[in-house]
Amino acid sequence: MTAVAVVCAVTVLAAPGTAFASPTPSATPTASPTPVTNKDLEAVREKLDALYHDAAVATDAYNAAEEKAQKQSAEIVELAKKIVKGQDRLDELKDRAGAAARSQYRTGGLPDEAQLMLSDNPQAFLDGAGRVLEGQRATKGLIAELTRTQQDLQQYTADASTQWQQLEKNRQAKAAAKKKVTTQIAAAEKLESQLEQQEKKRLAALEQQAALKAQTAWLDSGVLKDISGKASAEGKAAVAYATAQLGKPYEWGAEGPKSYDCSGLTSQAWASAGDPIPRTSQEQWKQLPHVDVKDMRPGDLIIYFDDASHVAMYIGDGAIIHAPRPGRTVTIAGAGSMPILGVVRPDA
């Protein structure tokens, strides 16, 4: 591929929606292919990074919507159970109220007090008076429970309606995020497909050089000499799980066992260690306790980029295990090979 073609591909992807006229035949001889320079490939690398970053952000949004949808579905099921149980209880209470009404009808509609006043047996009157009080309390209790049950049913129904609305919102959010993920990944794959095999190798070398440069700068800062924390038992279990996944492919939205995205790997690793954590990298950053980089230990999670769109597991000696991006596999990399936002500890 010529350098001009590579640069044009990057430019087109940077401005989606651009229309082009159909090419017209030309008798002009085709120019000799121009070698693709490192500068051209660097532009491609930067564009790929941007596309995959946007895909990672959208993947986090998809995972968050999926997690919320699962939670809401479970809550709707529980509310449905409560509604059924409440309706059964309401039917039972109505039957009891109906029985009381029928009993009063059979006694001619006279209240129990009047029935007792007409009795010739004083002891029966006294015994009956106690039963009247008990009956009054029972009747009041029955009415109160009937009222509470009706109110509970109304609340359960309202809650279920709210959850259904939220569930539909999250389904729409999932669909929008899925569309963005697939669009960004397709654009990245299209850009890479336009490179010749040798150019792909050179591009991979440039990616490695960029990661090595960032890692070297991070190590040269002296940060590693201050990192000496030992893994907890749970941290060791999480690292062992992540290590066992090395070589498995990245797949957005996946959380094992055959493939993972970045937060799918870290969340499953900690779940296997008996300490469940949030599903997405952004929620891991928001909800888990933060620790200083100098205090991190194996098993801790390093959150990357200002928008917390990537996460990896620290395994010690300045290294991480992570699921990088589409087209890559779970791998070991330098902890400083990407911009670090901060560190969180699931078992703080």
Helix (H) or strand (E) holding 145: helix 122-193
Question: Given 8, 53, 290, 322, which residue is catalytic?
Answer: 322
* β partners of residue 332: 321
How many residues comprise the chain?
Answer: 348
User: Dmax of the chain from CA atoms?
Assistant: 128
Per the structure block, which two tokens stand in for 335? 């902890």
262 catalytic? Reply is: yes
CA distance 272 to 181: 28
CA distance 242 to 239: 5
**331 closest CA partner among 243, 255, 253, 238:** 243
DSSP state of 152: H
8 catalytic? Reply is: no
| Cα angle: 81, vertex 84, 87; to 5 degrees | 145
CA distance 142 to 345: 53
310 catalytic? Reply is: yes
The DSSP-derived string for 192-210 is HHTS-HHHHHHHHHHHHHH
Sequence-distant (≥ 6) Cβ neighbours of residue 214 within 8 angstroms: 334, 336, 337, 338, 339
Question: Given 8, 53, 262, 290, which residue is catalytic?
Answer: 262
Q: Which residues are catalytic?
A: 262, 310, 322
